[in-house]
Amino acid sequence: MSKYKLLEGKAVSIRKNIITMLNKSGSGHPGGSLSAVEILTTLYFDEMRVDSENPGWNERDRFILSKGHAAPVLYATLVEKGYFPKEELSSLRQVNSMLQGHPDMKGTPGVDMSTGSLGQGFSASCGMALASKLDKLDTRTYVLLGDGEVQEGIVWETAMAAAHYKLDNLVAILDFNGLQIDGPNDIVMGVQPLADKFRAFEWNVIEIDGHKYDEIINAFKKAKTVKGKPTIIIANTVKGKGVSFMEDKAGWHGKAPNDEETKIALAELEVI
């Protein structure tokens, strides 16, 4: 089986996991979870050095989901990687479940940072990357941001700090699907030109299609060749990707599918 076929198969399973777990919970965030599937699939099944049997391994690469409300895509990926049994997905957002509405590093194997307050996961990733440098660890830190998230001031403080400390072991991925809970980014609070802004903060900038594996893989390879500055990969994506009635719809930012919608979504995913 080719690498791309393997990744495509994992992505379908992850999307099915997202839909079924959100339907079961009756709440959650499908839009921004589905838009990031190819990114997390590539990270966990091709790029990162991790060990599901030893989640706390000190020499692992780190991943931080800074847009913590998209926790379903992280949980759906971790279960495919073998961090915990698939049965746990049905407990999403329930009291005392290991899978809360936002990632909890103390309760969920494989979660490297508790996130939820927008921008704070990005700042934590900067600290982790700096700590790895100080400890002389040959590890890399990856962090996923939402495009609405970059409206937060802490994002730009972090961008400045990461460049100052020359954190070339830090790779940020920006899930740019163009929509947030209140509508299009450019109407709520314009964030463009993002590439120019990050370049002005002395970051290496790579722009890609966030649903094409060859572009994602090549972007991670290019990031490893950059020395003396952090990298941000601006991944152009589609909110709700893979489910036709959710695609490019702001209304699916934070609404779980009902039983009929779930049936339709899973049927669509069967034919991918």
Question: What are the backbone dihedrals phi and psi of residue 230, each rounded to the nearest 5 degrees, phi first?
Answer: -75, 165
- Classified as helix, coil or strand, 89 is helix
Mean pLDDT of 35-59: 97
What 3-state DSSP class applies to 244? coil
Select from 12, 24, 67, 71 the least CA-distant residue to 256.
24
Structure tokens at 51: 């060990």
pLDDT digits (tens, 9 = 90+) for 57-84: 999 999 999 999 999 999 999 999 999 9
Task: Name 262's Cβ contacts closer than 8 Å, sequence gap at least 6.
Answer: 19, 20, 23
User: Structurally, how many domains does the chain consist of?
Assistant: 1
Distance CA 50, CA 176 (A): 26
What CATH number does the domain containing 7 carry? 3.40.50.970
Residue 78 amino acid letter: L
Mean pLDDT estimate for the chain: 97
| Contact call for residues 268 and 244 (beta carbons, < 8 A) | yes
Eight-class DSSP state of 87: G
Is the pLDDT confidence value at 258 over 90?
yes
Question: Residue 259 above 80 pLDDT?
Answer: yes
Task: Identify whether the C-beta of residue 217 lies closer than 8 Å to the C-beta of residue 178.
Answer: no
pLDDT over threshold 80, residue 271: no
Spatial contact of 23 and 262, defined as CB atoms under 8 Å apart: yes
Give the residue-averaged pLDDT of 225-243: 98
Q: Which domain holds residue 175?
A: 3-270
